[in-house]
Structure 1
Amino acid sequence: MSSYIAERRQEEKDRRRGEIVDAAEDLYRELGWDAVTMDSVARRARLSRALVYVYFKDKRDLHFAIATRAMETLRIRFEEAAARSRLGLEKVEALGRAYMAYGQEFPHYFDACARLELHVPEGGDDRPQESVSLEASDRVHEIVEESLAIGQRDGTVNADLGDLAVTSRVLWGFTHGLIQIALTKGGPLAEVGISVPQLTQHAIGMIRKMLAGPKG
């Protein structure tokens, strides 16, 4: 009986926590993260401010929870994209396209991922959700690294790229910048006769040339 009660209490805690993250995510999507406050999250979730602080130490802690969702969504997209291709270089290209599509479909998730990637962990600051979100980020990069490794084995990716963990982050930076341009500079690009799809296609071609091995 006691285990049943404990299980129900945990379910209630998980549900309440999810409602808080849902509220914060809605505000993030509507207003941008800088405009979100713990007070506004409490109001949107129809909970007391004090109760929100029971579940989340502060706004940073809440951001880690949203970033974890964002990274998990991206991981699923990456796994699906990589599974549709056989050769390593094709997988990497598919991941790049998936990331660009993800950024346009979920701009608030894209922003959450970007903020997480720039985050520097602070020693001695006990934040379990921070570790969870950073582990989720690592899993995303592992998919890229594995696709590069497959490409090196099948000859479609250059074998002299060096540390694939570093290469994965370089590709992230390259693609991240493209998504930012696509989200914010569509108008200025159009003024000089460049469409976002044209920019994307050109960028993918450059990535292929940069990574291609003898069979690429």
Structure 2
Amino acid sequence: MSRKPSRSRLRRDDEKERRREALIDAAEAVFARHGFEAAKMEDVARRARVSRALVYVYFKNKAELQFAVCRRALRVLRERLSAAADGEKRGYDKIVAIGRAYMAFASEFPLYFAALSRFEAHQPDRIDAGSSERAVLEAGVAVHEVTIAALTAGARDGTIARIDKPMLVALTLWGYTHGAIQIAQTKAAFLEEVGLSADEFLAHAIRFGLQGLRPAKGAKP
């Protein structure tokens, strides 16, 4: 029979978790000010008002801090997408809401979107089980599961065509939406030059990207 942890142990664990979260808060501020490349561990320590050695107790390097920011970003994103999907009844409308929520997330949390974009751009030789990087991937899967649930609901209520590989569709929708957001962010001047606003471009991207989800005319749910 296992023994319950003592109160002192629980307090120590709570304190460690608070310190870890405070370091991630500091890292976010430093990354936002200096950028991911230029930021240094001593900058994080200075921002958190702790020793550089203490930062290394919790995070072995800057990459580990970046992964921690990514995990936090994905938790926030999952909450936003879930709330958006829950606000709609039909599966297709849930997918539309998810796309809009992702775009709103990128606008509201530019650092999180940049961190996730940076994570997706790097290509490691391997990702070990139990690693911080693996934890980010698992958190990403949890986000995609929100889309998969909406796709499944749509197939069930007849607003979305039957899907054999929902993860494939979820990843495709994510890649399409993520890319559209990046274009809106980085090519705003060009869009304006050709007579388009970023908002108009993104709204069209959602409508255009979801056309393939509609069931064929006459198809049964």
| TM-score, scaled to structure 2 | 0.89
The code of the aligned residue for 2:17 comes to D
Trace 1:19-168 onto structure 2 (pairs within 5 A).
19-118=22-121, 125=128, 128-159=131-162, 161-168=163-170
Alpha-carbon RMSD across the aligned residues, in angstroms, is 2.1
Quote how far apart the aligned CAs of 1:64 are: 1.4
Quote how far apart the aligned CAs of 1:95 are: 0.4
Question: Which stretches in structure 2 are left out of the alignment for 5+ residues?
Answer: none
Kindly tell me: are residues 209 and 149 of structure 1, through their superposed partners in 2, closer, same or farther at Cα, counting changes over 3 Å?
Answer: same
Kindly tell me: are residues 175 and 123 of structure 1, through their superposed partners in 2, closer, same or farther at Cα, counting changes over 3 Å?
Answer: closer
| TM-score, scaled to structure 1 | 0.91
Point out which structure has higher relative CO (alpha carbons under 8 A, 6+ apart): 1
Give the total of aligned pairs.
214
Per-residue CA shift, 1:69-90, capped at 9, x if unaligned? 1000000001110011111111
Q: How far apart are the structure 2 equivalents of 1:143 and 1:167?
A: 12
Secondary structure at 2:37 match in 1: helix
- 1:213 counterpart (212, 215, 219): 215
Name segments (4+ residues, structure 1) moved above 6 Å: none
Question: Which stretches in structure 1 are left out of the alignment for 5+ residues?
Answer: none
Tell me if structure 1 keeps the 8 A contact 2:127–2:134.
no
- 1:188 counterpart (190, 194, 206): 190
Q: How far apart are the structure 2 equivalents of 1:146 and 1:117?
A: 23
Tell me if structure 1 keeps the 8 A contact 2:128–2:134.
no
Quote how far apart the aligned CAs of 1:127 are: 5.2
Quote how far apart the aligned CAs of 1:190 are: 0.4
